[in-house]
Structure 1
Amino acid sequence: MPLIIPLTPASYVNSIVSTVNAYKDARDAIEKMFDQSSALPDSSVAPIADKTLTDQENLKKKRDLYRWSTENAYPPHLYVVPTEEVLAKEQIFQADRLAQVQDMGHTVPKFFSEFDKGELTLTMASIEKRYKDLHQAAVDAGLKDVYAAPNVGLRADWYTDAVFAQQQLTGVNPTGLKQASQEWITAFSQAAAEQKNTAAQKILASSPSSLYVVDNTDYRYILGLGAKDPLIAQGVPIPGVPAGQPAFGCASVTLYTLSDCGKLHPIAVCLDYKNSIQESVTIFNKRLTFDAQGVDEKEDWPWRYAKMASSMSDWLRHELTIHLTETHLIEEGIIVAAQRNLPDSHVIYQVLYPHWYKTMSLNFLARLILVPTFIEKVAPLELDQIKYMIRQSYVNFDFTGRYAPTELKSRGFDTSKLDDPKFHNYLYAREISKCWDVLRAYVSDVLRSAYPKGDADVRADKYLAGFCAEMRSLQGAQLPSFPVVKTLNELIDMVTMCIQIASPQHNAINYLQQFYLSFVPNRPGSFAAPVPTTLAELQGYTEEHVVAALPIGGFADRVEWMLMAQVPFLLSAEVDPESNIEEYAASTSKSSNPHIAKAGAAFSKKIQALKGLFDKYDKQKDDQVTAYHVLDPKVIAQSILI
């Protein structure tokens, strides 16, 4: 067990201020910077709506403002040069506002205080108790801090197989689960045979169509590492501390069964895939079926560690790829290319523009602060590896392959079957597909009106052709999978996807971070100790080993804990009612564009109808302890605005 090191209040507070409040302060400051300067275009400012300008004159002005950059090793983004007249660099990053922003009594030092004073022994139970006590105290005091907000750790059963599995269906990253390939079935079967686990072999042989995996084994390949190279960051130096502490990672693959009654159940975890299953550590669940008896899940520490490693491995995928790259950064490429190629009068521009609110300034902030201050200090990768993974995720993004119906089917979830009992718990899939249908119907109504000759009008649209070309160009967005649109149906799908990324898709993967990530043992960003290298070592794990893997012992570890717990809280701020998709849909019927206005009433009616349908889905799922309302149209943001 790592020694609990008493902290110097000043040094600890400074570290918290320079990290958490930097995000808060810079978020507000950068918004102000973008909004005040015509030289720093953000999509939250009004379009260049000079009615005296021709479309070509309008585009020339926008191209002067919206220029591409790939500086600092990020994917293509808006080139912005802050000026002293707008806001000084020192003002943007001023962080020392603890007294005004955050009550000292409700920061992470308070979380550790009872451990440091010896009033609590460091165990998983005591960590749970501390969260619950601080939550109750915050609620009783009427506070609205990270402890007052609900989190998964307040559930008595948070560590169980059922809650672990359900997060693949309705959690922070519900996009990783896919039907197991024959290669994975064979590999796990071989592992079961080597371990003489005949019960696991029988399950693997009897129902291959019910086997699913969450596969993160490509990390080393993406990063250009050797098949057995460690995933490790040596640690970012922290003010007042000689050196940072290493953060350890793993590339796991987790095997599940999905029963005909819809129960998803984990049956095996390969902790850190190194070249093959046989050369890696693979552990099978003692409970091979969801209704198995005779195993105390709470005390099965090797399996609990394996599930924690699986969640930690997937944290990296969620934060760097699914969230940051595939929503924020992809949408920025769309915004810049659209601004450069679609005049303000263009119907596609007018359909897409409302879904860009605040996105550019948030991405600017992410590149300057979130990646080097939060992700670098938490992830088990060095900063250059983090950026490389982001770039690879960006360029390999399959734009048309990620259309909701296509993407779901490719993972084994045909949208025509999502109402079957087998899939009734997969609310993300059921709801995101309905969001796609409603958005596509609206886009279709608008564009079929605006392009009365159908495919011929689409092929004649030179502005559209320019937009598509710049999205694919090496001098533009550098997204080779973006379609070369030639038909009206292709156009409808493409525009729907641009909205889907910015609104329901981002909502589904962003706004549950507080609930699932702020309770660190549920989904840590990295480990404080290396992953075991043999099955025998893992099978000897006790509670002490599991707790020791969490970043809780030393000063630098605790800074990581604070970041893991509090940044998700900042990123999960509630959507203002006026910025939700329901309010936006209601406003479309008043649009000055006749094609949008004509389609608006039906769009609003269909959006409103989703709430009742999604409430019905939520009541149908087995887990009634934690509701799933992240795709309720009243809380879906119309854009990536946090």
Structure 2
Amino acid sequence: MVKYEVTVSTGNLVGATTFNNIFIKLVGTDGESERKWLKSIKGAASFIMGTVSSFTVSCPLSIGQLVLIELDKQPLPLFPEDSWFSAKVVVKSPEGFTYNFPIYRWITDGEVHRFREGTALTVFVDNHHLGRYSRQQELKQREHDYRWDVYVEGIPHCIKAETPLSLPCEVRFSFTKTTEFLYTASTGLTELQLKGLANSKKNWTNIEDLRRVFCFKQTDISDYVQEHWKDDDFFGYQFLNGTNPLLIRRCATLPNNFPVTDNMVFLHSQCNLADEMKKGNIFLCDFKRLDGVTANTINGKKQYLMAPLVLFHKTPDDKLMPIAIQLKQTPAVDNPIFFPTDSEYDWLMAKIFVRSADFSEHQLNVHLLRTHLLAEVFAVSLLRNVPMVHPLYKLLIPHTRYTLQINHLARLLLISKTGVFTQFAASGGEGMMTILKRSLSSVTYSSLCIPEDIAERGLEAVPNFYYRDDGLKLWDIIHRFVQGVLSYYYKSDAEVQQDSELQKWILDIYEHGFLSQASTGIPQKFTTVVELVKFVTMVIFTGSAQHSAVNTGQYDYGGWMPNTPISLQLPPPTTKGTTSEATMLQTFPDVGTTVQGMATMWLLSKQSSDFVPLGHYSEDHFNETIPCNLIKDFQGELEVLSVAIKVRNKSLEVPYTYLDPSVVENSVAI
């Protein structure tokens, strides 16, 4: 008889414990063991949360190199079936070889579950018939578990699930995450001391009332926003380093529908637009995606959503200053162009309408579509088409954590017919889907890759653009890591081309994420290692860094409502000289709408205690030395960047922290 030493680790998660009987079968190249009941002197405590237990499996002869293991769980008589989270199994063979089997899965039923040895294998090198069979069976089951659904025609497809509990166990929130999320969601108004105001339909009558409400929950940046929200230089700064750094671009030619002239913006100045444009000092934000969108009705009252054009000038002291605002796309007598030289409230109201438009552009295009919905597509396609033993699965699975459930909750609580966004945002309801569809049709592959996006928008030399500076460094670090890992497994372009699982992954993304729109530039297949590395870099960057950049600062910049109104109750002025503080207060969203917006942004900005920062992998999916060393190098580079960002931020009036790797989560998890 030969003996195999089997060590089983139960995950350190709430609910991971099982008191059911656990059985194992070892399958090798030369045979297999009997199905063995795993018993030890620990008895029922062998599979308690966080426990590592050892067992012996005997075979008449060596079964050769281990290919896979089979695990199943059976309840004791009169005992209920429970769930077990198995972390990993390690088997030491009589020949002295150690085989690692990464699992990290919930086993909830009495079925047999097969797990491959941890060495990553692409389909073209997985030659053992049992290995190939288990691969096929796994994907067959995953296609059943992870089905595509169409939430609304014209936007990316999503996972089919009726409730969060109908999602597969492996992608659900942990107990900790569930508890914290539900607590914050249900007590958000209370945490902000706003509960008594949530249903108020009254208008704000003075700015001091707003300050008293706001003072219950403040951050360093939200305090700064309250103090400086009227300042032109801060207004410009937010388009570089606020929650939406994706709209602004260098302006080389004025749009035909924005008839700004020199004497409008450079009165008594030596400057002129043509020269300043040639020097690269003129910038534009064009909210044309919002043009003609039907605004919401809130509490029976029609709301207003503009599609502004905003012109900026980079001054000699490196400030980005707004110099002209047109609130509607079509020039007209009743659509004046506003300037800093106008009366205080004419100019301020124009900026307020821009900030409100930016809220809708940010939330629906930049945040929801370009991070949440795309990350879900990347994840569902991975889980449907790529088995656990594949190197791509091992590389990307940590970057899918909680994404499917947070998106399901967003569809349930935010953008459904009764969702907070639908009820309280100017772009909620019919307008929301119009904007999402327009946004998807305008997404390009290059715009999802920050080096190309910055170049296309002509922003390489803009000063004080910390999103660009930190984002490009993060992209490069992620790219080096991805290149190292994938180049280890794909030695030639031909190997990429013949990997059928890889090709199904990208085709599913093209069809279900980008609705087969060739104009997006999204590849339908991979032909080179270089193409593959770039795309996977984009996938990781989108779900980690990009999401952090557009999500984490929501309360910082939106908690003080006048800086980011989620809706506006009056139309913009059609003639100058008709606005006042009273007009502004009447235009702001009512009290209830304001506090609902504050509570939602508080929830979406709040980090959970089981947050996992970028590059930290609590699950050991890779076994091989080179990928494991690459992970260590990746973590080291991220730490160096984190330190550099912290040092830089000490000298900034408004620190830019959202792309500090220590606060960037591995995945879209909130």
The TM tier, using the shorter chain, reads 0.7 to 0.9
Q: Which amino acid aligns with 1:108?
A: L
Q: Which residue of 2 aligns with 1:447?
A: 486
**AA aligned opposite 2:137:** E
2:32 aligns with none
Superposed, which structure 2 residues align to 1:341-356 within 5 Å? 341-356=385-400
Could you tell me the percent identity over the aligned residues?
23
- TM-superposed CA distance for 1:474, in Å, is 6.0
Q: Which residue of structure 2 lines up, in the alignment, with residue 523 of structure 1?
A: 564
Deviation at 1:626, TM superposition (A): 2.5
Q: Which moved more, 1:467-476 or 1:330-339?
A: 467-476
Counterpart check, 1:123 vs 2:123: no
Equivalent residues of 1:249, 1:380 under 8 A apart: yes
State which of 104, 115, 122 in structure 2 corresponds to 1:50: 115
Q: Which moved more, 1:306-315 or 1:70-79?
A: 70-79
Summarize the alignment of residues 13-92 of structure 1 with structure 2, pairs less than 5 Å apart: 50-51=115-116, 54-73=134-153, 75-82=156-163
Match status 1:544 vs 2:579: no
Does the CA-based 8 Å contact 1:282-1:535 persist in structure 2? no
| SS of equivalent to 1:248 | coil
Q: TM-score, normalised by structure 2?
A: 0.72
- The alpha carbon displacement at 1:80 in A equals 1.4
Match of 1:410 among 449, 456, 474: 456
Separation (CA, whole Å) in 1 of partners of 2:435 and 2:664: 28
Q: CA deviation at 1:344?
A: 1.3
1:560 matched to 2:598: no
Partner residue, 2:537:
496
Which residue does the alignment assign to 1:511?
A: 552
- The reply on whether 1:471 has 2:509 as its aligned counterpart is yes
Report the equivalent of 1:426. 465
Match of 1:364 among 408, 412, 419: 408
The answer to whether the 8 Å contact 2:139/2:387 transfers is yes
> Aligned pairs, how many?
534
Structure 1 residues 153 and 546: alpha-carbon distance in aligned structure 2, compared to 1, 3 A threshold: farther
Equivalent in the alignment of 2:325: 269
Letter in 2 for 1:516: Y
What's the CA shift string for 1:587-621, capped at 9, x where partnerless?
Answer: 6888325553131121111111111222244345x
Report the Cα distance in structure 2 between the residues aligned to 1:588 and 1:84, rounded to whole angstroms: 23
Q: Structure 1 residues 278, 455: closer, same or farther in 2, change over 3 A?
A: farther
- Cα offset, 1:393, TM superposition: 2.0
Matched to 1:158, the amino acid is W
Greater shift in the superposed pair: 322-331 or 465-474: 465-474
Moved more, 166-175 or 51-60: 51-60
Are 2:643 and 1:612 equivalent residues in the alignment?
yes
For the structure 1 residues 336 and 199, does the alpha-carbon distance in structure 2 shift closer, same or farther, using more than 3 Å as the test?
A: farther
Alpha-carbon shift at residue 111 of structure 1 (Å): 6.7
Which deviations, in whole Å up to 9, do the C-alpha atoms of 1:556-587 show, x marking residues without a partner?
x3221112211000000125475111533xx6
Deviation, 1:378, is 2.5
Instruction: Report the alpha carbon displacement of residue 286 of structure 1 after superposing the two structures with TM.
Output: 2.0
Change (3 A) 1:36 1:393: farther
Q: 1:479 to 1:369 in 2, by over 3 A?
A: farther
Cα distance in 1 between the residues matched to 2:384 and 2:667: 20
Partner Cα distance (1:277, 1:252) in 2? 13
Match for residue 249 of structure 2? 178
Alpha-carbon displacement from aligned partner over 1:205-234 (angstroms, at most 9, x marks no partner):
3311210011102323xxxx4xxxx74222
CA displacement, residues 279-333 of structure 1 (integer Å, 9 cap, x when unaligned): 732111129xxxxxxxxxxx81111111111111111110011000110001111
The structure whose residues are more often strand, as a share, is 2
Residue 465 of structure 1 aligns with an amino acid whose one-letter code is: Q
Question: Alpha-carbon deviations, 1:397-442, whole Å to 9, x = none?
Answer: 212442110001111123xx5xxxxx34110010111110000000
Can you list the C-alpha shifts for 1:357-411, whole angstroms capped at 9, x where unaligned?
0000011111121113221123324523312322332344212442110001111
For residues 44 and 502 of structure 1, what CA distance do their matches in structure 2 show? 21
Contact 1:589/1:601 (CA < 8 Å) preserved in 2? no
1:466 to 1:267, Cα distance in 2 relative to 1, 3 A: same
The match for 1:232 among 295, 320, 325 is 295
Q: Indicate conservation of the 8 Å contact 1:517/1:565, yes or no.
A: yes
SS in structure 2 at match of 1:371: coil
Secondary structure of the corresponding residue to residue 60 of structure 1: helix
Structure 2: which amino acid aligns with 1:360? Answer: L
Distance 2:162 2:201 in 1: 47
Q: 1:218 aligns with which of 269, 286, 289?
A: 289
Deviations 1:487-512 (A, max 9, x none): 11111000000000100000010010
Which stretch of the first structure deviates more once superposed, 387-396 or 172-181?
Answer: 387-396
Show structure 1 runs of 5+ residues with no match.
1-34, 136-145, 236-242, 288-298, 418-422, 552-556
- Paired residue type of 1:572: S
Q: Which of structures 1 and 2 has the bigger CA Rg?
A: 2
Aligned to 1:205: 274
Matches within 5 A, 1:330-341: 330-341=374-385
Counterpart contact for 2:415–2:428, Cα < 8 Å? no
In the aligned structure 1, how far is the partner of 2:265 from the partner of 2:644? 47
Relative distance call for 1:475 and 1:330 in structure 2 (3 A) is closer
Cα-Cα RMSD: 3.7
Task: Trace 1:374-413 onto structure 2 (pairs within 5 A).
Answer: 374-381=420-427, 383-413=429-459
Quick one: distance in 1 between partners of 2:559 and 2:323? 26
Give the structure 2 partner of residue 326 of structure 1: 370
Specify the SS of the correspondent of 2:414. helix
| Aligned equivalent of 2:300 | 244
Q: Is this contact kept in 1: 2:194–2:213, CA < 8 A?
A: no
Deviation at 1:113, TM superposition (A): 13
CA distance in 2 between partners of 1:54 and 1:231 (Å)? 52
Are 1:302 and 2:384 counterparts? no
* TM-score with structure 1 setting the length: 0.75
Change (3 A) 1:44 1:164: farther
Provide structure 2 residue ranges, at least 5 long, that are not aligned to the other structure: 1-81, 86-102, 108-112, 117-130, 169-177
Aligned equivalents of 2:404, 2:183: Cα separation in 1: 25
More helix by share: 1
**Equivalent residue of 1:425, what SS?**
coil
Distance 1:325 1:100, change over 3 A: closer
Q: Which moved more, 1:199-208 or 1:355-364?
A: 199-208
Q: Does the 8 Å contact 1:577/1:635 carry over to 2?
A: no
Distance 1:98 1:618 in 2: 29
Contact 2:197/2:591 (8 A) holds in 1: no
The answer (yes or no) to whether the contact 1:68–1:476 under 8 Å persists in 2 is no
The answer for the alignment partner of 2:575 in structure 1 is: 535
Whole-Å separation in 1 of the counterparts to 2:465 and 2:184: 42
Q: Distance in 1 between matches of 2:430 and 2:650?
A: 45
Counterpart of 1:580 (choices 613, 624, 627) is: 613
Distance 1:479 1:608, change over 3 A: farther
Please say if residues 115 and 121 of structure 1, whose CA atoms lie closer than 8 Å, have aligned partners that are also in contact.
no
CA change 1:359–1:267 in 2 (3 A) is: same
**How far has the Cα of 1:257 moved from its partner?**
1.0
Instruction: Note if contact 2:394-2:622 (Cα within 8 Å) is conserved in structure 1.
Output: no
Partner Cα distance (1:365, 1:580) in 2: 22
Which protein has greater RCO, CA pairs closer than 8 Å, 6+ apart?
1
- Letter aligned with residue 424 of structure 2: V
CA contact (8 A) 2:189 2:198 kept: no
| Superimposed CA distance per residue, residues 436-486 of structure 1 (whole angstroms, 9 cap, x where no aligned partner) | 00000000010111112x212212211111112222236996464321321
Taking the TM superposition and a 5 Å limit, the aligned residue runs for 1:590-601 are 591-601=622-632
